[in-house]
């Protein structure tokens, strides 16, 4: 953030209409002078978020999320604050004076991103030449129209073994670097293009930067692998990427769900029928990095892996890990086809959409899976099945789902409910976690002194007159945290000659020791009417509390004082303080 001035950030914030920016992510409806919408930061089912165009801030009345346009974009997009500034600037038709994309990237990585972009342009152009006619026909015969070809950046690596290599070396890119990136290869000292004679599909990181390629043959060539993928490099880490994530994430947040498939062709096929909230693992096993990317979306995950035994096992393993990481998970198991691509080609898009509308909950799927290869008429198999279900229940935090499952087992198999509950507790004590709406911790109890102090601080963020009133009538806070926030407010105003709540939120973003308290203060007071009269009431009340506290302290001191002269001196101090407290 040091490379972008506060003045420039404030200018971008001032040019950004928070209603328009937030409205590009979630639907907003005007209600009085503010706008309301369903909060994306917790499981909200009614409009709990209020957006103020006057103050340029938002607040959720349920979970307490609050901030300005930058904090919203940062938390919604799961990006850094400075990247959020860049996104907001872009939405406003502005560019930062420096590239946030390059702030923390070494020069060689910047070069590698440039090489990937140039390579992609080369592949795209090849498909539109006379050399690409056969490949283009192949794609269209597979049901991929022009819109989908463009949407997924599908291109072509030419028959020539050195076409890409020659292009890149003419641009003075180092051969060793190109080898490390996996764009070319070497055999007996001869250099050749890695993806020759293949249709190319770019692979993106979570931010939409091209980091590699997957390539497929399109002719009937023998003794050649159907698919070839980029090797791992500094840019491309397979376990850290999810195919199409950068495009699917916003749609997923609107739809409140995301579909996870195995192969990128499955994702492309599903997207071609209008379902855009789909991503591909490019394999079967999820890594923890991928799970965290999905968790950050705060949406339901629908697993739709291949209809083979490997896909079935992967559904169980991935589903278990998602549930352990508190991700709501559902499952689609397609019948009569190997994968979603094949299923849609055979049965049509509407049939697939019907499956999407009626998935199994993960636990329903898991219970069915646990019955496999068991004869439930046999005592031993039934015992194994019930125990397996109970073990799975230890990962479930929904008390209603646990209770319903136990009741179902009890009725279906004539088992004592109390025995099932006892057995469940033996496997693992269930820790019931609180809803996110409670921030998973009890809210701090605030006394009148804390409330008054925070109201005064909020008023000070609203303009010079409130800062002057604080300086004239209060001067400072006894509490060190409040005192520091007040000092920062005064400093911000003196430096910028103006202050707004939205701009002050930006200012404290890199001050970790106070930024959360500032946002909490804003959240608690966002709808307060800000007037000098109201502030004076808080100052007067706070002053009286300070006097009472000081009188209490002096009385305690006087009780322990043995020197009569000093007792008299303390008594006089108390008398003077009581005069003030009138």
pLDDT in tens, 334-349: 999 999 999 999 999 9
How far lies 105's CA from each of 73, 74, 109, 182, 365, in Å?
A: 22, 20, 6, 20, 44
Please write the tens of the pLDDT for every residue from 480-508: 899 999 999 999 999 999 999 999 999 99
More confident residue, 442 or 405: 405
One-character DSSP codes across 533-569: HHHHHHHHHHHHHHHHHHHHHHHHHHHH---HHHHHH
Tell me: pLDDT of 296 over 90. no
Contact in structure between 48 and 60 (CB atoms under 8 Å): yes
Phi-psi region of 337 (alpha: psi -120 to 50; beta: other; left: phi over 0): beta
Q: How many residues in the chain?
A: 582
Longest CA–CA separation in the chain, Å: 108
Please write the tens of the pLDDT for every residue from 530-569: 999 999 998 888 887 777 777 777 788 888 878 888 878 8
Please write the tens of the pLDDT for every residue from 186-198: 988 899 999 999 9
Structure token pair of residue 582: 């009138």
pTM value is 0.68
Of the candidates 197, 130, 122, which has an alpha carbon nearest to the alpha carbon of residue 153?
122
Please write the tens of the pLDDT for every residue from 300-309: 999 999 999 9
Please write the tens of the pLDDT for every residue from 234-280: 999 999 999 999 999 989 988 889 999 999 999 999 999 999 999 99
Give residue 101's pLDDT.
Answer: 47
Helix (H, G, I), strand (E, B) or coil at 322: helix
Give residue 98's pLDDT.
Answer: 58
Give residue 155's pLDDT.
Answer: 97
CA distance 581 to 574: 11
CATH 3.90.580.10 fits 6-102, yes or no: yes
Collect all residues with Cβ–Cβ distance below 8 Å to 445 and sequence separation of at least 6.
none
CB-based burial of residue 201 (10 Å sphere; 0-12 exposed, 13-18 middle, 19+ buried)?
buried
Tell me: pLDDT of 137 over 80. yes
CATH number of the domain located at residue range(s) 240-344 in this protein? 3.40.1360.10
Please write the tens of the pLDDT for every residue from 349-397: 999 999 999 999 999 999 999 999 899 999 999 999 999 889 888 887 7
CATH number of the domain located at residue range(s) 107-236 in this protein? 3.90.980.10
Torsion sign, CA atoms 400, 406, 411, 413: positive
Of the candidates 295, 302, 299, 308, which has an alpha carbon nearest to the alpha carbon of residue 270?
302
Give residue 99's pLDDT.
Answer: 52
């Amino acid at each position: 953030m040091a490379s972008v001035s506060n003045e420039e950030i404030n200018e971008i914030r001032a040019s950004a209409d928070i209603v328009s920016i937030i409205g590009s992510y979630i639907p907003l409806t005007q209600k009085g002078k503010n706008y309301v919408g369903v909060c994306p930061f917790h499981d909200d089912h009614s409009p709990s978020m209020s957006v103020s165009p006057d103050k340029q801030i938002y607040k959720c009345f349920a979970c307490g999320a609050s901030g300005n346009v930058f904090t919203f974009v940062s938390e919604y997009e799961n990006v850094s604050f400075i990247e959020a500034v860049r996104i907001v600037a872009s939405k406003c038709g502005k560019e930062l004076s420096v590239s946030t994309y390059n702030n923390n990237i070494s020069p060689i990585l910047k070069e590698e991103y440039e090489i990937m972009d140039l390579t992609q342009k080369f592949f795209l152009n090849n498909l539109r030449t006379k050399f690409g006619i056969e490949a283009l026909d192949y794609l269209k015969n597979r049901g991929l129209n022009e819109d989908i070809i463009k949407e997924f950046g599908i291109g072509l690596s030419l028959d020539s073994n050195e076409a890409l290599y020659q292009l890149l070396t003419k641009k003075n890119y180092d051969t060793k670097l190109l080898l490390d990136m996996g764009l070319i290869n070497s055999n007996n000292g001869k250099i050749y293009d890695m993806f020759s004679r293949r249709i190319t599909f770019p692979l993106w990181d979570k931010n939409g930067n091209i980091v590699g390629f997957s390539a497929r043959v399109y002719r009937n060539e023998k003794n050649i692998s159907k698919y070839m993928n980029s090797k791992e490099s500094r840019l491309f880490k397979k376990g850290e990427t999810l195919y199409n994530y950068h495009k699917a994430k916003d749609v997923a947040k609107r739809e409140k769900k995301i579909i996870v498939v195995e192969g990128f062709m499955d994702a492309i096929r599903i997207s071609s029928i209008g379902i855009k909230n789909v991503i591909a693992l490019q394999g079967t096993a999820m890594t923890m990095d991928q799970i965290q990317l999905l968790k950050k979306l705060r949406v339901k995950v629908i697993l739709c892996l291949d209809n083979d035994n490997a896909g079935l096992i992967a559904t169980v393993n991935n589903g278990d890990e998602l549930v352990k990481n508190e991700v709501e998970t559902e499952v689609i198991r397609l019948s009569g086809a190997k994968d979603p691509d094949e299923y849609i080609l055979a049965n049509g898009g509407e049939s697939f959409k019907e499956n999407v509308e009626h998935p199994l909950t993960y636990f329903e799927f898991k219970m069915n899976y646990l019955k496999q290869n068991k004869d439930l008429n046999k005592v031993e198999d039934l015992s194994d099945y019930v125990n397996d279900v109970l073990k799975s229940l230890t990962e479930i935090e929904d008390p209603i789902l646990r209770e319903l499952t136990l009741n179902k087992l009890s009725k279906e198999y004539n088992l004592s409910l109390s025995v099932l509950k006892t057995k469940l507790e033996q496997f693992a004590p269930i820790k019931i976690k609180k809803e996110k709406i409670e921030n998973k911790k009890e809210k701090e109890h605030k006394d009148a002194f804390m409330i008054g102090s925070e109201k005064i601080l909020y008023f000070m963020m609203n303009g010079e007159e409130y800062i002057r009133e604080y300086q004239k009538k209060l001067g400072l806070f006894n509490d060190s945290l409040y005192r520091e926030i007040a000092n920062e407010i005064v400093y911000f105003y003196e430096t910028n000659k103006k202050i707004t709540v939205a701009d002050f939120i930006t200012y404290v973003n890199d001050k970790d020791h106070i930024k959360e308290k500032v946002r909490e203060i804003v959240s608690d007071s966002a709808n307060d009417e800000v007037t000098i009269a109201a502030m004076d009431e808080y100052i007067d009340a706070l002053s009286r509390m300070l006097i009472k506290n000081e009188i209490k302290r002096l009385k305690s001191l006087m009780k322990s004082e043995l020197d009569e002269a000093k007792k008299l001196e303390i008594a006089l101090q108390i008398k003077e303080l009581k005069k003030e407290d009138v």
